[in-house]
């Protein structure tokens, strides 16, 4: 049986963190981006990270953050992975990886096949690639917009590094997304929310159940 990795991103409360962990999430994402409705303070993040430590990998999601900010997150929160979800070039990813002695996940915005070429450059320095949908015009958020793209673009993608499918996933479409993309890891944020920034425990559990059903059926 395959075992698709699942990242529940943008968690803000102890109740939803507990729901994600109980449902078997492999990674949990904590958002450090003030413009996002999923933003958490360092104090909140420390509490949530302590709940997850040893149970799931802790991912600190950042957007074009300076090195001082990243240092504070690394020191206080102690994430397993730092996710760079902005316009950080490969050399910046390499610098963060070396300076903080940490794994890096780099988000790549996708709307067409040509966008995947960025993955080749980032795969040299990143430990994970996250292929997310390009944000709608006018959106201030680089991710978590609830939009998707053609999942078949990722089929048979070979970057020599693991990649994660993100963008518009929810309990109703994740099985089809896995089937079409061949992804072995998926990321969800807005697809398990009642409203922007407010996660729903039932939707989290439904998402996890759908992924495990896909694993069982070999989708």
Is 162:155 a contact under the CB 8 Å cutoff?
no
Instruction: Tell me whether residue 132 is one of the annotated catalytic residues.
Output: yes
Spell out the residues 6+ positions from residue 151 whose beta carbon is closer than 8 angstroms to its own: 165, 176, 177, 180, 181, 183
Catalytic residue among 80, 132, 187, 213: 132
Catalytic residue among 9, 115, 127, 172: 9
Closest CA to 2 of 178, 193, 151, 173: 178
Q: Distance between CA 187 and CA 170 in Å, rounded?
A: 10
Instruction: Tell me whether residue 9 is one of the annotated catalytic residues.
Output: yes
Name the phi and psi angles at 8, rounded to 5: -100, 115
| H/E stretch holding 164 | strand 163-165
**In this structure, what DSSP letter does residue 115 have?**
G
Q: Could you give the residue numbers annotated as active site?
A: 9, 132
């Amino acid at each position: 049986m395959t075992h698709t990795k699942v990242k529940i991103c943008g968690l803000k409360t102890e109740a939803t963190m507990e729901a994600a962990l109980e449902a078997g999430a492999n990674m949990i994402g904590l958002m450090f981006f003030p413009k996002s409705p999923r933003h958490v303070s360092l104090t909140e993040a420390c509490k949530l990270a302590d709940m997850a430590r040893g149970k799931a990998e802790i991912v600190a999601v950042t957007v074009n953050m300076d090195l001082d900010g990243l240092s504070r997150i690394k020191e206080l929160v102690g994430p397993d992975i730092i996710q760079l979800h902005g316009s950080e070039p490969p050399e910046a990813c390499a610098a963060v990886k070396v300076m903080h002695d940490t794994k890096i996940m780099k988000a790549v915005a996708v709307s067409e096949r040509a966008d995947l070429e960025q993955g080749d450059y980032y795969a040299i320095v990143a430990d994970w690639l996250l292929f997310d949908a390009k944000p709608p015009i006018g959106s201030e958020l680089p991710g978590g917009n609830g939009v998707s793209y053609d999942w078949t673009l990722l089929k048979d993608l070979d970057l020599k590094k693991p990649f994660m499918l993100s963008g518009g996933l929810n309990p109703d479409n994740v099985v089809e997304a896995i089937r079409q993309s061949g992804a072995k890891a998926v990321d969800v944020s807005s697809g398990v929310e009642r409203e922007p920034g407010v996660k729903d425990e039932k939707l989290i559990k439904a998402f996890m159940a759908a992924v495990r059903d896909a694993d069982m059926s070999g989708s």
